Amino acid sequence: MSDMAVDQETFASGRYSKRKRTQVTYSLAELDVSDSESDYDAPQSKKHKAQINSRPLPKRKIFPFMQLPAEIRNMIYSYALTDPSGINFVATTKHKRRTVERVSEETQSGLSRGWYRRGRINDQVRAQYKEPVSLVPSLLAVSAQVYFEAQDVLYGNEFVFADTSALYSFLINLGPSGAKRLKTLRLLGWSYGRASKAYNNACFAVLVWATNITAFHVDAFHGWFRSIQTGADRIYRDAFPWLEAMGREAGKADAAVDVLRINARILRTWQCNGTSQLVTDEQRYAEFKAMLSKLLAGHQKRVMAKPSKKRKVSKDVEANEE
């Protein structure tokens, strides 16, 4: 047996004696440990979707807009829905649909300078010119009463179109009910070329809904003609659907003649032969109105004329002809 003395209690108890140690505590601020060095990613808590409260707001949080005087409401409509320089449109394509884009008066003027650049809009042009005055047409969707009060303010603006393609694209998206609200239009360009020349007539074909127009300004160059008569023929050929629709609505064949305003500069290009005695813009415009009224009256006369009776031919005459 070994001479080493062993404490019998130690083996009998089955455990070693405990040493008294000083307890040490650590704080996370003293440790240089980042979240990215963690051996595992802590499970992220699920984000709860915000629940939409369908309950109406209390009355104390709703602004009493409809309780304002009518004069103040009209002022608000004017600030939100009018542009003193007019609402300018150019033709564009969006989602494979023909539509229009609103631009500023400066952009419209810049696009109309070039012969082939008229009506084209792209990112380079947008960056070159400033944006138009912001309007809030969604205000009309607040309520039926607001729509009733504010619609005439919005449609009372002057709508300016770069060319007949822009006018056509605007009207086919506007629809009949909106077209009836239009008051003042201005056309800056005529379409040329085989691909776009058809818009000159198509835009007036969809303009038949707009029978409440009070002024239609045409600043578009049509070409050099030898007489006012030729220019009036060209206008009638392209615009006869709308011209006749205005006449039917007013009960007067040439009612649209007083609404159509041709720029004096355009009338001068229709008299380039130098032989006419018309020397003033007023005389040229008076002759244009007379020529256009004659064309409209002639169509009404043909429509209202009674059908002619067929001439009876005797059997003897038929036999001689054979």
DSSP string, 25-77: ---GGGS---GGG-SSPPPPPPPPPPPP--SPPPGGGS--GGGS-HHHHHHHH
Q: Are residues 242 and 98 in the same domain?
A: no
Residues 230 and 215 in one domain: no
243 and 115 housed in the same domain: no
Q: Among 169, 198, 220, where does a domain finish?
A: 220
pTM attached to this predicted model: 0.73
β 260-262/215-218 pair status: parallel
The candidate with the shortest Cα–Cα distance to 260, out of 206, 304, 210, is 210
Q: Which domain covers residue 285, as residue numbers?
A: 226-304
Residuewise pLDDT in 10s, the chain (322 residues): 444 554 544 444 445 555 566 665 555 455 454 554 445 455 565 555 666 667 777 777 778 888 899 999 999 999 999 999 999 999 998 898 999 999 998 888 887 665 444 456 777 777 888 889 899 999 999 899 999 999 999 999 999 999 999 999 999 999 999 999 999 999 998 888 777 889 999 999 999 999 999 999 999 877 777 788 888 999 999 999 999 999 999 999 999 999 999 988 888 887 655 555 667 888 889 999 999 999 999 888 887 777 766 665 555 555 555 5
Domain boundary pick from 186, 220, 254: 220
- Shared domain for 169 and 240, answered yes or no, is no
Q: Please indicate, yes or no, if residue 35 is contained in any of the structural domains.
A: no
